[in-house]
Structure 1
């Protein structure tokens, strides 16, 4: 394809025109869905459940006792039915807000009144910022836009987000939706985003702005790989891996984030469908973690464990097993169709249904759904004017900037200077994309800024697609080489899109598709100036060819960077923003796929068969890049200012470890509780560029109980101007942070030498008794 010059003036006009179109309000305002509308049904004023001065429990109890069995069953499916005699309208529970208000679920739609919402980067890139305040700030914006849309009848109040599954395998098509491979990062992301979504203004802590949902519970991270799909997969997981890796993000979401909902997954775990497992649902989520909210199934997962997994002989048994296990709400129609028959067959008591709808109604009470006209409630003033505001769109750009990871920068090739770089060749199948940038579970963005548009605002560009799509069956090498040979610098925007990684579709290799690597290598050979490789993707790749090619001077990973992705990429490349993102997942060589079947759930290596383990915590093989990798345009140093060298755990006089040698002690014992110490670090920006910097505190515990090789204890994002320094303090809880999970799933404090890591700094700490 022939190259062509893109005019920055033209792009500015196009961008302004798109903004103008989006600002047009062409449809009449509609009304929100709510119960207890005294204006249309004065009788509701006499109902206890409509009395906002009563406590939630009393209101819910009043409502439940007024319903017939058939009416109760209307409220255990996502498309909840109406009971007009009680002033309760239909309500759609299913809305999505993974990284902005989405129209994927039936509960949300865009119209001329609200044609789009702010589309933030896909979660994997936001997680790369390692900035918990950013996670929460995005949640607040998303909930504001969700409430604004609810007030004009375009959205619901219950959002089935975030996805906090561990990104266990780089081939997983949904890894892009997650915060990465580390349990602590995933925990911090989940609880922070949930707080941003849910926390309401005012003095009532039980009130919800919108209701979030942490999903998919649990050990769910395979969609469709080599003929094995999520509807039939039995995840065989050790108790150690369960409690050490897969459960912590959900535990934090419930306990720290106080999430209003948890969604159970399609897969089985150790032979039981998660949505039919009373130990996982009633036992752990509601029993141990004390969920204040409802448990919902993934869509049609009750149908799946009956029809696909053949877990029960009859649909009535499936309905009964799900409800008795602790499921409150079915995304789908299965429980609506078979629950009454289950009751009549004696498989289920009506009281179990009462319990389920009590949890569902209590959530809607906390949202104000039963408080009458929303315009007279908190957030009633929000409307279309509060969606896609300049501040919200700027936050989307800032989130992308903070997440972008600089993986290679030979001899300071970046940032480019607009004063010396006058022409830029922009090449690649993702160079001028729009929808690709927002990933999946997306909505309609306020506007797009493509990478090409972003770069053209700084310098004149020549654009060559290089491939017709990301599959890149045949690369247009000659045109691309010609453009690179005549430009002062070259930016190659490569990677993949939803055609190659998505829900229901896992990758089978870790190579850039088709002739992408050929295109990159040939262009780099021909280029006159620096060559910047930009990879747009959710998962990682074996890019060792580019990492080792001196002609490829820089490599950036930009995830799926959201509606403002192109602007953020340009901000980083031209040095308007100093990159501070760090990889939230490991990038493996192609040989990984031959050694590690996706179906093997074990996190820990097995030397007997050459299985290398998974994630930076356990993986023993070679990597291309690893968790936490990322460069800056400046350099940082870390100096330890304060940390103990010995921590003693006081034990009772008759404790067994006083008379015999122990490798660990129970982390739940009284002697270990409230035992903590501080680690103080001096962090210095040694260069002239101002920058943000993530300080990671890792620990290598003693080798007991197949402990991790290394694990993250904490992280802190700091901002430093050039030639300045600051102090960072980590509080280390001995029970929580210096413990490991043993083979039976119990948390133990490892006795012996722990090594704390911060950058290249190492500090030994002995834990004794």
Structure 2
């Protein structure tokens, strides 16, 4: 038989590639209802194999399974649409599911219909973050994982959810601001750990579902001014990486014990994150000890080969990604090119094995190789959209709403005095807008118009055809309605047409003619005019804040399926608002010298660069981070007997004071800063009590935000959040709150070289108008004292 020509060989390879890709995308996305993913106890050929024995250690089971797979079978398990291995009784599995704020059908791993027509849709993350309530965040995670497990049991969902998004909200224009817990790294990290614990459960090494913290790292630009996330090279200093971008991911891995981390599309300092061993192997798996798998953002490996041209061949790209520490590819790239990478000597089969150890171990911890056994097998359709779950969605929305302005006061409204409402605006009767992006099919919706209609008669006028508000043709009817009603509620803001994934904003003002409509309605309104804003990112509403005719301003974010009911409950005082802004609301002028591509967090006055977030920006704002009003008044006081605290920082015994200062200059009496790695950190914390007294006549919740101003260092933040606690206080009552601060973690700052240090001297802790000082000094083994060189 004659040897095939090169053209025939090329054609055969192309056909093989097409067959493989077709198989990847055509396989069933999840197990069929009632059937085991693997190790079916009715399958005599596999039920007694070692990898099917639930009594054996997981690592032994994984080792046995990998020893039975061929290289061809292994590479087909490196992608999100993993192919089945029929001879071993293993079905195909779709790894990609989403649960940002409820089980979503954005990923192909989840389908709605039949017994599961929808799932509870909680408020978008930025709204939930405004509650500053870590126990609420964990409770939402528990509900979402209940519903996810129920749907998995019904054969319509997976168990691996690529949520939450824990990127810090660096720039107010980012289209995905809505997905994040805000601009403060500590808040984002605590949200991450809390939500992950709720999702994954607390059953030892077993997982209820497997969560994923994304997108690692320095990812917060989608498409701005001609630069997109697929081509962006984020130039980040070691300082900003350590004290901003890495913080939430480190907390997610080390405190939340997350089962997965996702690397991002962008490059960081010239290297694609999904091909960077320093980020993946050295940091996530090495320094932070990830017990799980690392997955790419979808087609990230293909992106750094095809768009960033980081490697010369696709085999090199596959090899670089796997050797860097990537375990799973969202997309077909690794399944297509990894075998040839091994054949060419660019990759070893043991590298493929190492990746599969991490993914299969997670599947084992989920119970996917335990046949029909499982502690969550009881969950079913009755556990999805249940009344308690929907009640929690309403409660989360209420807790996340922020009262920005209350002139007069104009709020709350009264059912006796405000019997008719003019309800106006492009977001006044919306449903899908309320759930934001990465949402599924909600159990049901209560729009703002419906929610307000349960308290008063309504006159509904759109005012603008949509949030773009391109013309004023509907203004007249809206103005007339405001003249008739006892009060006017304008529901304005943004939606996914303005801010979304791959859609960054151009500015911070309300779109189109919205501002003009608001001002004209307020001028004509017979009663109080109230402005309700839906948005993920901040909006410059300085005009409304300064207009005395606009009595109240409320930010609802994207409040979820029960958003309309929550808005109405707050406006009519059924619930006292207690939310606080998790991000700064800047003036439009702030953007003048601020390219989204500039990653520096700190200001640069010589270049007019303003700095980012409340930690590094000192200029004028519309509303500051942590702003939020109440219908009652809280008075705070440091508990009696609490004196300024002096804390000795014990050293690890190997270092002297003269070796650990930041500038190599030691005073005779002080050391400027101690490296965290040189201190015995587990022994150092500060605790004190704060009394919160509600002197008003309404029950309410108050968020204690504890901000630290460190001793002067030109590289330290102006201030940084070191603790927060939510406390409920009935009217005319008092509650005492214990504040505990881990010194090394919370009072440390990062120097220009990316080294975390504890500044010696006085740290001023601000809690509202209160200040409590903590003085840090090096300690000797004989007791508190200053070490001298």
1:300 alignment counterpart: 299
CA offset at residue 667 of structure 1? 1.7
After superposition, give the CA deviation of every residue in 1:36-70 in whole Å (9 maximum; x if it has no partner): 1122x211122110000001000000000000000
CA contact (8 A) 1:693 1:717 kept: yes
CA offset at residue 660 of structure 1? 2.2
- Is 1:716 aligned to residue 718 of structure 2? no
Shift of the 709–654 alpha-carbon distance from structure 1 to 2, 3 Å rule, reads closer
CA contact (8 A) 1:266 1:304 kept: yes
Alpha-carbon distance in 2 for matches of 1:518, 1:703: 45
1:681 alignment counterpart: 690
1:644 alignment counterpart: 644
- Is 1:553 aligned to residue 551 of structure 2? yes
1:418 alignment counterpart: 415
Alignment match of 1:725 (pick from 707, 711, 734): 734
What is the root-mean-square deviation in Å for CA atoms of aligned residues? 1.3
- Is 1:660 aligned to residue 666 of structure 2? yes
Alpha-carbon distance in 2 for matches of 1:721, 1:395: 21
1:219 alignment counterpart: 218
Alignment match of 1:94 (pick from 96, 102, 107): 96
Query: TM-score, normalized by length of structure 2?
Result: 0.92
After superposition, give the CA deviation of every residue in 1:261-288 in whole Å (9 maximum; x if it has no partner): 0000000001100000000000000000
Shift of the 64–130 alpha-carbon distance from structure 1 to 2, 3 Å rule, reads same
After superposition, give the CA deviation of every residue in 1:61-114 in whole Å (9 maximum; x if it has no partner): 000000000000111000000110100000000000000000000000001221
Q: Secondary structure at the match of 1:716?
A: strand
Alignment of 1:333-412 (within 5 A): 333-373=332-372, 376-412=373-409
In structure 2, runs of 5+ residues without a counterpart are 1-31, 779-789
Q: Secondary structure at the match of 1:730?
A: strand
Shift of the 159–643 alpha-carbon distance from structure 1 to 2, 3 Å rule, reads farther
Q: Secondary structure at the match of 1:95?
A: coil
Alpha-carbon distance in 1 for matches of 2:619, 2:656: 44
Alpha-carbon distance in 2 for matches of 1:568, 1:655: 56
Alpha-carbon distance in 2 for matches of 1:570, 1:643: 44
Alignment of 1:79-158 (within 5 A): 79-158=81-160
CA offset at residue 546 of structure 1? 0.2
2:756 alignment counterpart: 747
Q: Secondary structure at the match of 2:621?
A: coil
Alignment match of 2:458 (pick from 461, 471, 478): 461
Shift of the 30–645 alpha-carbon distance from structure 1 to 2, 3 Å rule, reads closer
CA contact (8 A) 1:698 1:714 kept: yes
1:37 alignment counterpart: 40
2:617 alignment counterpart: 619
Alpha-carbon distance in 1 for matches of 2:388, 2:112: 20
CA offset at residue 621 of structure 1? 1.5
Alignment of 1:475-494 (within 5 A): 475=472, 476-494=474-492
1:514 alignment counterpart: 512
Alpha-carbon distance in 2 for matches of 1:585, 1:260: 28
CA contact (8 A) 2:650 2:679 kept: no
Worse-matched range after superposition: 754-763 or 330-339: 754-763
CA contact (8 A) 1:646 1:765 kept: yes
Alpha-carbon distance in 2 for matches of 1:377, 1:209: 10
Worse-matched range after superposition: 526-535 or 749-758: 749-758
- Is 1:429 aligned to residue 426 of structure 2? yes
CA offset at residue 738 of structure 1? 1.4
Q: Secondary structure at the match of 2:775?
A: strand
CA contact (8 A) 2:666 2:672 kept: no
After superposition, give the CA deviation of every residue in 1:556-611 in whole Å (9 maximum; x if it has no partner): 00000000000000000000000000000001011112121100000000011110
Alignment of 1:167-316 (within 5 A): 167-200=169-202, 204-316=203-315
Alpha-carbon distance in 1 for matches of 2:376, 2:744: 41
1:452 alignment counterpart: 449
Alpha-carbon distance in 2 for matches of 1:350, 1:765: 55
Alpha-carbon distance in 2 for matches of 1:221, 1:521: 33
After superposition, give the CA deviation of every residue in 1:512-553 in whole Å (9 maximum; x if it has no partner): 000000000000000011111000000011100000000000
Worse-matched range after superposition: 666-675 or 733-742: 666-675
Alpha-carbon distance in 2 for matches of 1:510, 1:328: 39
Q: Secondary structure at the match of 1:172?
A: coil
2:703 alignment counterpart: 694
Alpha-carbon distance in 2 for matches of 1:360, 1:648: 45
Shift of the 421–284 alpha-carbon distance from structure 1 to 2, 3 Å rule, reads same
2:162 alignment counterpart: 160
Alpha-carbon distance in 2 for matches of 1:148, 1:239: 44
Q: Secondary structure at the match of 2:395?
A: helix
Q: Secondary structure at the match of 1:683?
A: strand
Alpha-carbon distance in 1 for matches of 2:680, 2:517: 61
Q: Secondary structure at the match of 2:140?
A: helix
2:3 alignment counterpart: none
Alpha-carbon distance in 2 for matches of 1:235, 1:747: 22
Q: Secondary structure at the match of 1:194?
A: helix
Shift of the 199–655 alpha-carbon distance from structure 1 to 2, 3 Å rule, reads same
CA contact (8 A) 1:32 1:152 kept: no
CA offset at residue 745 of structure 1? 1.1
How many aligned residue pairs are there?
Answer: 735
CA contact (8 A) 1:124 1:559 kept: yes
Q: Secondary structure at the match of 1:395?
A: helix
Alpha-carbon distance in 2 for matches of 1:248, 1:368: 31
Shift of the 643–78 alpha-carbon distance from structure 1 to 2, 3 Å rule, reads farther
CA contact (8 A) 1:508 1:593 kept: no
CA offset at residue 650 of structure 1? 4.4
Alpha-carbon distance in 1 for matches of 2:115, 2:311: 47
Alignment match of 1:495 (pick from 493, 496, 507): 493
Q: Secondary structure at the match of 1:102?
A: coil
CA contact (8 A) 1:149 1:155 kept: yes
CA contact (8 A) 1:32 1:150 kept: no
Query: TM-score, normalized by length of structure 1?
Result: 0.94
After superposition, give the CA deviation of every residue in 1:267-314 in whole Å (9 maximum; x if it has no partner): 000110000000000000000011010000000000000001000000
Q: Secondary structure at the match of 2:678?
A: coil
1:24 alignment counterpart: none
CA offset at residue 647 of structure 1? 2.4
